[in-house]
Amino acid sequence: MNMLIFIIAGLLVHCVFLASIFDIYFTSPLVHGMTPQRTPLPPPAKRLVLFVADGLRADTLYELDDNGTSQAPYLRNIIEHKGSWGVSHTHVPTESRPGHVALIAGFYEDVSAVAKGWKENPVEFDSVFNESKYTWSWGSPDILPMFAKGASGDHVYTYCYTAEKEDFGAQDATKLDTWVFDHVKNFFQAARSNQTLFSKVNEEKVVLFLHLLGIDTNGHAHRPNSREYKDNIRKVDEGINDIVSMLEDFYGNDGKTAFILTSDHGMTDWGSHGAGHPSETLTPLIAWGAGVNYPQKVTSQFLEDDFLKEWKLEKWKRLDVNQADIAPLMASLIGVPFPLNSVGILSLDYLNNSAHFKAESIFTNAVQILEQFKIKMTQKKETTLSFLFTPFQLLSDTEQINILRKARSYIHQEKYHEAVSLCKTLISLALEGLSYYHTYDRLFLGISVVMGFVGWTSYVILLIVKTHTGLTRSTHDKASTVLLLYGFAAIGVLIVFFLLIQTCPWTYYIYCLLPVPVWYAVVKEFRVIQDLASLVLVFPLGRSIGFLLAGALGIEILVFSFFYRSTLTFGLIAFAGWPLITQLWTQAKVITLSWTLLCLLLAMFPLMPVVGREPNISLVTLAGLVILLISSLSLACLCKSKNKYVPKKYLTILLFQMLSIALSTYVVNSTHSSLHRKQGLPVINQIISWTTLASSLFVPLLSPTFFFQRLLSILLSLMAPYLLLSTGYEALFPLVLSGLMFSWIYMEREVLQHYGDSVKPKLAVLNFSYTTDITQFRQLHLDDIRRSFFFVFFIVTAFFGTGNIASVNSFDPASIYCFLTVFNPFVMGSLLVWKIVIPFVLVSCAFEAVQVTTQLSSKSLFLIVLVISDIMALHFFFLVKDYGSWLDIGTSISHYVLVMVFTIFIMLLSGLAQLLTTKRIELWGRTKRHSM
């Protein structure tokens, strides 16, 4: 098979495998066609004011400082004298968009919807805002528009500041919250003289939404334990006090206003969020005003955590909820229908109303969730053959009717406690049934994907054996091949017919049909399988078992490294001892010593704290100075050398790269110093940063394609932007990694000579662009599996060496401050991804060099790497789960996604490494092309 066709096919297959996880675990929970449900009794409040303090942690708000005073004295007074309080438990991912959707719409948005648009409303869903008579909102342009665009009609109004105001480097991010408070005051001041507006704000079922982003911005910029973060909380507390006083005055103290303060997510100590750490998932909830319970004093409380004593709030009853439970609470307070897709359960303890009102409210909540269950069940029943359909046994049609009739009867008989208990049971069953039908096809799809996985991996193994080992001499039997083709075509037709009858989504056709051509390709190589089996049978049993155990251990080490970074340390220590085991140290003592020392040095990085938690710009400066020293020594050696392969132009390029390194080191120090003084990001620094980034992939192509010169040029070009994206010890990581990669190249040359495979080549004269003579390629040996494993291990080390990037919260926003400080999630994400990619590129270029020095075609080792990574991916596919804590669920899925992206990325990285090592551009002439 042509390599290009194989890579395209491989990319498509792995894209299908990657997409499958979203169809299996991340499909939208939304259904449509439900009837709106509202409580039939008059609501206690005419209007609701929702304060969302973005990025506010529960512990920071509730705790007292060293003097025993609160960060938010007004809100503390509310807790102790006027309202109810608790902790709202958010779900992963702890980001602003899904957090606000859970708060206002009452359901947990699937990841695919989050990815479709940050400011838009990519899926149609109902919300408290949509159900209100009028909603006015003030705040961030990243949050407000999605609820306005998702609303039916023209009754949700937004007032946003410009995106440029969301500047992490600004003098004072509290101005974002001050802007909101000032504009709310101006709005009501204008309403006094505008009769139309006055009548609107005096209607019933009105919502006022104040989105306060300053706390989140200060948390990212200065960390949650900083003075700026805590001062912002005080400003918000004062602002809320002013707004409450102003509204009570405007409405004449009519007692018809309900207030809720909460947050969309918390924040880690190092100023990030996105994962499931308690500092991210525990957010405050304080409610007061019309229809809300007064403080409930208790003598003792039993909760899973010990925060009550820390917060000195053990006397006041803490009422915890899930984040989605806030939406039905808001709907109940102002009497609007519960959001149609809400899965929140109304917390009756927050309501200060009659037992009758509470019973009617929870009954409405139960009917609203049951409506979703019935629609979901009908949809699944209509798309499944009757003899294959298995209904949710615990909530049959008869059971639904009986529970509803019994609950309604209890309410008529004024047995409210019994009615509430029965409704809660019905809600629990309906939610369980929703989950059952939502995951109905999971096993079926999972089996299809696994069959595709196993088939693809088997085919790649057979391709390696057939084309790169010389172990088989079999030919195809044309008659049997045609018969096989017809057989598998018939299977494909049967699958299509089966899916058509059930009116399955188009993606199901891809997952179910993919194994057909893959397994056809496997079975077609039946003679190769026979030859391979016969070879295995004559191979010594002990050695076969030893190879299998070694392979399994290697894969498990790679898998464990995704959970425990320290596993990489043990692996690198084992690598350090490899020359001693193979007796290589007797052959090349200097190279062996450098390999061992660099392995041990790199082994220290996975034991260090995750990047971003302990910023240290002095270490970035140290890395810059070290790389300048290395490049200066290299320049001196090249100048003294009489090697004809060193043109003068290259020395100019090397000097330019050294200048880029020096400038990058200066810019990092200058930028962070400027931000520390709250003077913002200097424009000149920003220009230098973006210019350096833009030139990082272009400049290496100007250097000669000789081994040492090209690899050094790649290192210097990539180190400049990496320094700009660093905040601490990670700046030293690519230096140590690159040193080890150079040692690896020399070690593989020694291994080749040690086993007598070839004459020892001189690396100084090897040229990336002139080493593709196919007659020089040799067949694969068992030792090549070790080389491929080394590559995968080094890639994983590059991935996790300085932090577990499977966790979104390990990113430090300060990493991108040399490029921009204004909030832009996609640009920021792209810069952080490039920071991750740079160590990958260094390892891939070294692997390209290893392939050249060991006289192997890039295709052969690439195929072995593909097999190793696919086995890892299959391992993680079986580890994916949808039970346990949200952190466990999110981690298991993110690991699978990462290893699948990693597999796809290796294919693309192979091409990028070849481009960087083999291509050359002449500035003063034509582009010089070399065959690859």
Q: What is the mean pLDDT of the chain?
A: 86
Nearest CA to 287 among 262, 264, 265? Answer: 262
d(CA 743, CA 274) in angstroms, rounded, equals 38
Q: Is the pLDDT of residue 442 over 60?
A: yes
Tokens 């017809």 sit on residue: 486
pLDDT of residue 466: 82
Least confident of 73-77, 340-344, 726-730: 726-730
Degrees (nearest 5) of the Cα angle 217, 222, 228?
80
Say whether 134 sits in a helix, a strand or coil: strand
Examine the pLDDT at 821 and tell me if it is beyond 90: no
In this predicted structure, which of 17-31, 462-476, 727-741, 788-802 has the lowest mean pLDDT? 462-476
Residue 483 host element (H or E): helix 478-501
If one counts every other C-beta atom within 10 angstroms of the C-beta of residue 548, the result is 10
| pLDDT value of residue 764 | 56
**Whether pLDDT at 120 is above 70:** no
Distance CA 92, CA 277 (A): 9
Residue 366 has pLDDT above 90, yes or no: yes
Tell me the two tokens of residue 336.
Answer: 């609007």
The closest of 366, 357, 374, 375 to 405, measured between CA atoms, is 366
Quick count: other Cβ atoms within 10 Å of Cβ 782? 8
Q: What is the mean pLDDT of residues 251-262?
A: 97
Q: Which residues contact 322 (CB under 8 A, 6 or more apart)?
A: 88, 89, 91, 344, 345
pLDDT value of position 809: 47
What pLDDT band is residue 552 in, cutting at 50, 70 and 90? confident
The pLDDT of residue 929 is 42
Say if residues 291 and 45 touch (Cβ distance below 8 Å).
Answer: yes
Q: What is the mean pLDDT of residues 358-362?
A: 97
Nearest partner of 870 among 20, 19, 23, 13, judged by Cα: 13
Judge whether 832 and 816 are in contact, CB under 8 Å: yes
Give bridge partners of residue 51 from the DSSP assignment: 210, 261
End-to-end CA distance of the chain: 17
Handedness of CA 364, 369, 373, 376 (dihedral sign): positive
Average pLDDT over residues 727-751: 90
Q: What angle is formed at CA 688 by the lines to CA 721 and CA 628, rounded to 5 degrees?
A: 55
Q: What local confidence, expressed as pLDDT, does residue 773 receive? A: 47
Among 455-469, 522-536, 557-571, 751-765, the range scoring the smallest mean pLDDT is 751-765
* pLDDT tens-digit readout, 849-885: 888 887 776 677 788 888 888 888 888 888 877 655 5
Q: Is the pLDDT of residue 119 over 80?
A: no
In which element (H, E) is residue 811 found?
none
Are 710 and 768 spatial neighbours (Cβ–Cβ below 8 Å)?
Answer: yes
What's the mean pLDDT in 12-36?
A: 83
| pLDDT over 80 (residue 151) | no
Instruction: Please give the C-alpha separations between residue 582 and each of 578, 586, 615, 932, in angstroms, as whole numbers.
Output: 6, 10, 41, 33
Residue 294 has what pLDDT? Answer: 95
Q: Which of 859, 866, 865 is nearest to 777 (CA)?
A: 859
Place of tokens 């919300």: 127
Higher per-residue confidence, 764 vs 652: 652
Alpha-carbon distance values, 604 to 607, 729, 772 (Å): 6, 11, 38
Q: What is the pLDDT of residue 193?
A: 94
The tokens describing 486, both together, are: 């017809």
Q: What is the pLDDT of residue 618?
A: 92
Instruction: Give the pLDDT score at 91.
Output: 84
47-53 β-sheet, strand order: 156-160, 134-139, 206-212, 47-53, 257-262, 282-289, 84-89, 321-322
Q: What angle do CA 299, 300, 304 make, to 5 degrees?
A: 160
Q: 3-class SS at 297?
A: strand
CA torsion through residues 686, 691, 697, 700, sign: negative
Nearest to 148 by CA among 163, 137, 161, 139: 137
Q: Residue 312, SS3?
A: coil
Residue 111 has a pLDDT of 57
**What does the pLDDT look like over 587-618, one tens digit per residue?**
778 889 999 999 999 999 988 877 555 678 99
Q: Which residues pair with 138 in a beta bridge?
A: 159, 210
Rounded mean pLDDT, 668-688: 89
Per the rule left: phi > 0, alpha: psi between -120 and 50, beta: everything else, 399 is alpha
């188009």: which residue's tokens? Answer: 506
Please state, in angstroms and rounded to a whole number, the distance separating the CA atoms of residues 849 and 738.
13
For residue 352, what pLDDT is reported? 96
Greater confidence (579 vs 261) lies with 261
**Burial state string for 579-591 with b = 16 or more CB within 10 A and e = fewer than 16:** beebebbeebeeb
What is the pLDDT at residue 778? 66
Q: Taking the CA atoms of 761, 764, 765 and 770 in sequence, report the sign of the dihedral they define.
A: positive
* Reported pTM: 0.79
Amino acid found at 582: T
pLDDT-derived band at 78, boundaries 50, 70, 90: very high
Distance, CA of 268 to CA of 285 (rounded, Å): 19
Report whether 714 contacts 913 (CB < 8 A): no
Task: Note whether 256 and 290 are within 8 A (CB).
Answer: yes
Q: Token pair 């909820």 is at which residue?
A: 321
Query: Rg for the chain (alpha carbons), in Å?
Result: 32
pLDDT of residue 399: 94
Name which residue leads in pLDDT, 918 or 469: 918
More confident residue, 159 or 882: 159
| Least trusted range by pLDDT, from 4-8, 225-229, 471-475, 480-484 | 471-475
CA–CA separation, 575 vs 557, rounded Å? 13
Among all chains, which residue has been given the structure tokens 């690396």?
763
Please report which confidence band the pLDDT of residue 209 belongs to, taking 50, 70 and 90 as the band edges: very high
Q: What pLDDT does 810 receive?
A: 55
61, 224 in Cβ contact below 8 A? no
Query: In which band, very low, low, confident or very high, does the pLDDT at 806 lie, cut at 50, 70 and 90?
Result: very low
Closest by Cα among 578, 536, 570, 577 to 553? 570
Contacts of 4 (CB under 8 A, 6+ apart): none
Task: Please check whether residue 865 is in contact with residue 851, taking contact to mean a CB–CB distance below 8 angstroms.
Answer: no
| Range of 91-105, 394-408, 765-779 with top mean pLDDT | 394-408
3-state SS, one letter per residue, for 790-803: HHHHHHHHHHHCCC
C-alpha span between 388 and 376 (Å, rounded): 17
Average pLDDT over residues 479-506: 88
The more confident residue out of 804 and 688 is: 688
Of 139-153, 313-327, 438-452, 712-726, minimum mean pLDDT range: 139-153
What gap in Å lies between CA 836 and CA 816, rounded to an integer?
13
Mean pLDDT of the 250-258 span = 96
Look at residue 42 in the predicted model and tell me its pLDDT: 95
Quick check: 752 pLDDT over 80? no
Nearest Cα to Cα of residue 917 among 773, 726, 731, 707 = 707
Confidence grade of residue 775 (pLDDT, cut at 50, 70, 90): very low
Joined tokens for residue 604: 């220290």
Beta bridge mates, 70? 64
Confidence of residue 625 (pLDDT cuts 50, 70, 90): very high
Q: How large is the average pLDDT for residues 268-291? A: 89
Q: What pLDDT does residue 271 have?
A: 84
Q: How far is CA 825 from the centre of its chain?
A: 13
**Pairing of the two strands 84-89 and 282-289:** antiparallel
Top-ranked range on mean pLDDT: pick from 331-345, 534-548, 634-648, 822-836: 331-345
pLDDT at 639 over 80: no
